[in-house]
Chains A and B, each alone.
Chain A
């Protein structure tokens, strides 16, 4: 019996080896969010990020310029402020009164460089050279001088992984600035798309799109892109809107992490604070 089994295994060892690896991989995939596995991931990421960073530093020698970086920083700050002003203008016109934007009028930007990129058509992510040492946390938005780039997905002490808006797993609550139409935008592998907007809503190509007040991940009024075109679906009652991002995602090198704690985290913090008081 034992001989038969061992002969069987010997005959099909190729398949057994493959099957064992496949099972291990599937287990790893399933436990991707497990804290222990995340720890291993972060440990590996940190060690290799140093190597990546050294290679990137060599490449940086050929391309970067401190002055350009500082101008980009200034530009990003101005872009955020201009957008807020534009938003205020729209709301002024409609409501004839000012709203209180004191909490969001100042953004704390942390300049970061892209150390490495994982580009596939569905899974865009960057490795950035800023981590918990610079008070970077998971969930902080990442922008460039033109608009939204993505969100911090993993953080180590010195590095962080940014999931870009060209990542199919990221869905963003957005608003069309001119008409305040809300929607959910995500990447379908080819383009950024906002699905199922009723045809009765006033949306025209060229309309600016920004993050929504309802977003639990991003601060409101971060510029995202412009409406490229509207495509009616089969019944003609709803539109799919394709969006051209402001940010140069593919060519991104110098980015800014916005030190912003998302609403959900803020709510959790408030609750914890209340509990500790009681």
Chain B
């Protein structure tokens, strides 16, 4: 059952990575884009736990590094960390609350913030970029944007049920 969920996460992840690199730039606001491959990662981590999130985060991250041509290993570390941290919110008895309430958006925001901030910190080696700008423009802004997109995803999930 878990391996099927794992496969689903990675397949959704790949599809969303392709969408991320080919189409998401059309909705960029001042170079700030949502990071949509994190949506299935957060959702399935809240359903399956921390180890699941860490490993699938690493695989989706590595695939993102390969497909995007970015820093090799950067996406892997950042996404597995995001999956690991999301895993702390997992609870067998709170799956419904986690995935079908406002909390899903909060967890998505947290995970995207961790991912974006870490990825930007790893890939930029320019001393002119301040820590504050990394937190605000690389961490918070993409997290807010992804959460907005995540709200639509959340509405879709809740309507489907």
Contacts and interface: CB of A to CB of B under 8 A. Distances in A.
B23 interface: yes
Interface in A110-157: 115-125, 127, 153-154
A258 B108 CA distance: 42
A115 to B, nearest CB: 7
B31 A21 contact: no
Interface stretch (A47-55, A96-104, A216-224): A47-55
A128 to B, nearest CB: 10
Given A59-B22, A250-B31, A21 B80 contact: yes
B93 interface: no
A29 B71 contact: yes
A276 to B, nearest CB: 35
Contacts of A71: none
A121 B69 contact: no
Nearest to B123: A123
Contact of B72 (A32, A59, A118): A32
Interface string B109-148: 0000000100110111110110001100110001000000
B130 to A, nearest CB: 8
A188 B74 contact: no
Contacts of B48: none
Residue from B28, B70, B73 with most neighbouring chain A CB atoms (10 Å): B73
Contacts of A13: 51
B70 A125 contact: yes
Contact of B124 (A18, A115, A189): A189
B123 A120 contact: yes
B31 A25 contact: no
B58 A25 contact: yes
Contacts of B81: 18, 22
B9 interface: no
A11 to B, nearest CB: 13
B84 to A, nearest CB: 5
Measured as residues with beta carbon below 8 angstroms from the partner, the interface class of chain A is: 35 or more
Given A120-B138, A122-B124, A188-B128, A14 B69 contact: no
B11 to A, nearest CB: 13
Interface string A231-247: 00000000000000000
Given A52-B18, A117-B25, A118-B21, A26 B126 contact: no
A117 B21 contact: yes
B22 A21 contact: no
B67 to A, nearest CB: 4
Interface in B67-109: 67-74, 76-77, 80-81, 84, 87
Contacts of B23: 55, 59
B7 interface: no
Nearest to A117: B25
A26 B68 contact: no
Interface stretch (A87-95, A161-169, A199-207, A265-273): A161-169
A103 B25 CA distance: 38
A118 to B, nearest CB: 4
A186 B126 contact: yes
Contact of A41 (B32, B69, B80, B137): B69
Interface string A24-40: 11111100100001000
Nearest to B122: A29
A153 to B, nearest CB: 8
A32 B73 contact: yes
Interface of A: 13-14, 17-18, 21-22, 24-29, 32, 37, 41, 44-45, 48, 51-52, 55-56, 59, 115-125, 127, 153-154, 161, 166, 168-169, 186-190, 193, 195, 250
5 contacts: A14-B54, A17-B54, A21-B76, A121-B120, A189-B124
Given A14-B84, A121-B120, 5 more contacts: A17-B51, A29-B122, A120-B123, A124-B31, A189-B124
